[in-house]
Every structure is written in C-alpha cells, then in structure tokens.
Chain A
Amino acid sequence: MGIIEWATSPLGQSVPIHIAWFLIWVALIAGLLFLVLHAVYLRYFAKEKQFAAEGSPKGASQLPARIPRHSLTARLFHWVMAASMFTLLFTAFLPKVGVRFDWVTYHWIAGTVLTISIIFHIIHASFYMDFWSIWPDKADLEDAWKRVQRFMGRSSALPRKFAKYPLENKLYHGAIVVTGLSVIVTGVFMMSRVRTIFFPRNPYLFSDMTWGLMYVLHGLAGVGLITLVIVHVYFAVRPEKLPITASMIVGTMSREFYLKEHDPERWVVETAPSSTSGRRG
C-alpha cells in the first residue's frame, strides 16, 4: 500500500495521479494523537515554565494596561485565511470520505481567497510589520537548547522569556509557509484544469508526469494541513494560551501576561503615544 496512486497514461507511461486517500485518516489521527499526548504530558509530567530574569523589568509601570499585539489588518488577514483554509479542507476531503456535494466551485473560490490573502500578507508583513519577528533567531535556538537540556535533567541556565512569538509559534509558521505555499502554487496551476473565471482550460500545460507530481504535492500538503490545523486549534483553546488567542480577536493582551511570558527587550512595546520604538504586527 503506497502513499501515491499510480496510473498508466495513454502513452504507456506510469504516472502518479494523486495521493492515496488513506493519508487523510493518517493525518487526522496524527493530529489527534499529538493533542492527546501533549495534553497528557502537560497535565502529568511537565514542570512549570521558568525563565531567566523573573520579575518586573524597569519601566514596566509605564507600559499600557493592554499591550497591542495584532493590528486590525493582521487580525482580518488571519481570520480570512482561517475561513478559507477551513473551507478548503472541508471541500477537499469531505467528498473523499463519502460526503457528496458540489465541492469544486467552493474549493477554487476559497483557494482564490487564500491566495489573495497570502499575497497581501507577504506584502504587509514585508513592508508594514516587523518581518523578522516570526522567524527563528539565534536567541531562540540557544533557549531551545537550554530547554532541551533541562528537560533531559541536565544542568543548564534558564532560558530567556520569549520575544513576540515563542519558537513553537515560529516553527509552526514555517510549516504553514511550506505547506501553504505548496498548495497555493500547485492549486493555481490546477485551476487551469477546471472551469474558472480566470484562465481558459489547458490540461496540456504540463506533461502527465509533471501534472501527477503536482497533484501529489497538492495532496501531501493538503493532508499535512489537516494535522497542522488540528494542532493550531488545539493550542488556541488551551487555557494557558487563551490570552494569545484572545489577542487575535481583540488585538491586545494584558500587561501581566506580557511581562510573565515575554521579554520587553526582545519584544519592544511603545510606552507613550509619541514613542516610535517597535512596530506592531
């Protein structure tokens, strides 16, 4: 039982046509298994989070009561992307597990919305947000190593508090970038195989082999997104993460949570309206 379905083309060539659909269940089970194991680990085995330099830093009293975390634009992007992502996953995979409906039209429309929102996000993040805040830096890797050492019972200095985004967030974002761009790029080409309002159908744009690989990549990234979305929703509803989740709705988090989890030197927040330090995203 392979993970790719093959067929013989009219020219006698063996070509991939799509992923094996049992991978949908593998992805679903992997996501659910992760959340069960993680929840059990946190409930019974995890030690309380400890950071170097506990306590309130200088100037903490000058911080606003609500710390701005996500601009309205960034929040709108996130929820538009979330809506299109859920639509894409449901329209892609429900028909494969027996729920029959006219899915193709909804799928390519949601894909178009996702594509436009991602293009917007890339431009917005590149020119109007702190672009590097979501990518792992040297401090993240050093702190991650310290956490691993301590997890294994070895002596190590305490890790620093997080910058705007913890390393897990950054790695998750990286995984979403890879899978998201894979489905988008392949999906845009695949739209030339169905009737849309954008371009005339041209199923001969690529060879059978290239098309097959494109369908396989689209499918693999798609089932990967099932797992990633489950993990994302799980973390969003975990009690200790609710302030972060709420900030994606209201745009801000409390000063106390900010000081408890984040390093004001790594995530600089404006302390007065006239200040220009720190860019929001």
Chain B
Amino acid sequence: MAVIRDVMPAFQLFQPSSIADAQKLLEQHGQDAWVMAGGLDSFDWLKDRIKKPKALVDLSGIEELRGVRTTSEGIEIGAMTTLTEVVRHPVVKEKYGLLAQAAELVASPQIRNQGTLGGNVSQDARCWYYRAGWPCYRAGGNICYADTPVGRNREHAILHAERCVAVNPSDSAPALIALDAKFVVQTPKGERVVDAEDYFVGPEIDITRMNILQPGYLLTAIRIPSTWAGAQFYFEKVRDRNVWDFPLMNVASAMVLSGDRIDRIRIAVNAAAARPLRLKAVENAVRGQSRTASTGEMAGKLAVQGAVPLQFNAYKIPLMRNLVKRAISGVQEAAWAS
C-alpha cells in the first residue's frame, strides 16, 4: 500500500463559481487539469502523490451544480449534489427510491455528507496495484499486476476483463442505469447528453479511463426521466464491512409489473467488470414472465454466462447469480436503513 503523506504536491488551485468559468479553466489547462468534486477520491491520489496535476479545479463553489430540480420530464440532479442530499430529497425518496437506496449505502455518513453524486459515478478504480502507483495498464504501463497467478484479485472483475481487471466501485451507477438516467456532459464542442450506461467505458475501449470524460469535459447534471418513477425497485450491495466499504458487488433493478407478470424491467450490476453492466439479456429473458423464484433462478444463471474468475474471486460468480436472482424474484427486501 502506498503511504499517505501529509503534504500534497504543489498545484495551482482554481475555485470557479460558474460552469462557464470551470469549463474555460479545463479547456485552458487540458491534460494538466484535475477536476475535484467532493475530494474523496482526489485527496487519496494527491496525498499518495501518485497523481500530480499542475492545476486543480475545485467545483465546490459552483452553485449551478448543486441541488435536485423537478422538470417536466422527471428530475435533474446537479453533479455536485451531495449523496446525503440525494438520499434525503423527498422526490427522490418517493419516486426514485432506487437511487436513494443506492446512495445511502455508499461508504459512511461523513463521506456521504461530502461526497457528490457526480463524484460517485466518476470515481476511479480501487485496484490497489493501480492506487499504489504501480505502472499497470490503467496507469499507462503494459502489465496488470492483479491478473497474475499470485495477484491479489479477490475484488476484481469476472466479466469483460481486457488486460486490466479492475472494477468500477460506484454504488449509484447501477441504480442510475436501472432508472434510465441521462448524464449531461459539457465538452469543448458543446453539451452532450448520454445514456447512463454509455457514460462508462471498459478497458477494451480506453484502459486508462472509467468513463467518457476527456480533458476539458465536465459532468454537470444527471437527469432521471419519470419513465420509472414509482416502479418496484430492488438494490442490494454486498461488502466485507457493512458499516463502510466498497461493493464486492451490487445490483439494481427497476420493474413494472402487471399482476405477477413482469411488463418492463431494467437491471444492472456493478463491481463485476470495469464498468457497470446493464443486463440486457436478463431483461429480455424475464420480460413477460411471472415474477417467481424459477424466473429469478433462470435470470441468475443467464447473468453469469461468460464470467471468467481470476485466481481469488470465483465466489463472485455465485454472488452475482444470487443477487440477480433476488433482484428478479424479490425474495428478499433490500435492507437500507442508515
């Protein structure tokens, strides 16, 4: 493990008060700029002295990026809205409870007070080889230290591993995918709105990034359409320490039933691959089926097709199978009390 030091490397600190100013700074500094939201991921990197940006753009002073707004199509959540604000917001709790459940299971209360929704979906991988500053693929090198016969890879990927086997650790990401959220990204060429699942990229596309944000890009808001408002939701997170930990795996589903028949469904898992995975094959297979244990069983088996375990994470295959099964059949209610 890297040793956390007291003094961060020197950088120019910018604290813009508007999106326009932030964007100008990001374009001006390009690859040398580091975007900081709540700072929980950033300060790890900086205090470990693994990342040494020349300019740090702190978004905390931009009011436009905060708050939950209701719109004609649903809600829009500013990227700098804290996870606590998301959890406590009455509209989110009432109509989009899936996001509230997911956000409340992120880390600890203190971290949720400081951490933001934009930061949670945009955070970097937690692979310790990468975080320790080793020259792995994700750091621009030519090896994955976790994917070796002796690599410690208990928390790593079982699906879509491509040279790098790190996983995406976000809890809110699969919930947002299940809610069919849209991510609003400001780019040097203008505003871009992408589906939640397209915001994330795997190592086969870009091994050094976990999302589409390039230098000069800024995630400003997340829009959740009313399509899934009030649907039946399921979120479950499995972690080593229930009080405060990253997910070993999580699952999020939004479902609309007609009697006991599944009319519409979206389901996603995270920490199974380098990006949160929407399980389209499962959705297609269970749509029109009765919501029963046998449907859940079938969905679970389908979800793990193609999974390849590493040396120490074979447990993730039955874990994912069972999480998907439970999300479909609803055998167990998600426990999400603070």
Q: Which A residues form the contact surface with B (CB < 8 A)?
A: 5, 7-10, 15, 17-18, 95, 100-105, 193-195, 201, 203-204, 208, 211-212, 215
Contacts and interface: CB of A to CB of B under 8 A. Distances in A.
Nearest to A7: B135
Given A10-B134, A17-B135, A104 B162 contact: yes
B145 A10 contact: yes
B204 A5 contact: no
Contact of A8 (B135, B147, B204): B135
A100 B142 CA distance: 18
Contacts of A201: 147
B204 A104 contact: yes
A214 to B, nearest CB: 9
A100 B206 contact: yes
A203 B309 CA distance: 17
Given A9-B135, A100-B206, A201-B147, A17 B162 contact: no
B306 interface: no
Interface of B: 134-135, 139-145, 147-149, 161-163, 201, 204-206
Contacts of A95: 206
Contacts of A9: 134-135
A193 B163 contact: yes
B225 to A, nearest CB: 27
B143 A193 contact: yes
A203 B135 contact: no
Contact of A203 (B139, B144, B161, B205): B144
Nearest to B151: A203
Nearest to A18: B142
A7 B140 CA distance: 9
A5 B206 CA distance: 19
A203 B145 CA distance: 9
Contact of A204 (B135, B148, B204): B148
A108 to B, nearest CB: 11
19 contacts: A7-B139, A7-B140, A9-B135, A10-B134, A10-B145, A15-B135, A17-B135, A17-B140, A17-B141, A17-B142, A95-B206, A105-B204, A193-B163, A194-B163, A195-B162, A201-B147, A203-B144, A204-B149, A215-B142
A102 B147 CA distance: 19
A105 B134 CA distance: 25
A211 to B, nearest CB: 7
The 3 A-B pairs with the shortest beta carbon distances in the complex, nearest first, are A7-B135, A102-B204, A100-B205
A95 B145 CA distance: 23
B163 A211 contact: no
A233 to B, nearest CB: 29
A17 B87 CA distance: 45
Q: Which has the most chain B C-beta neighbours within 10 Å: A10, A18, A212? A: A10
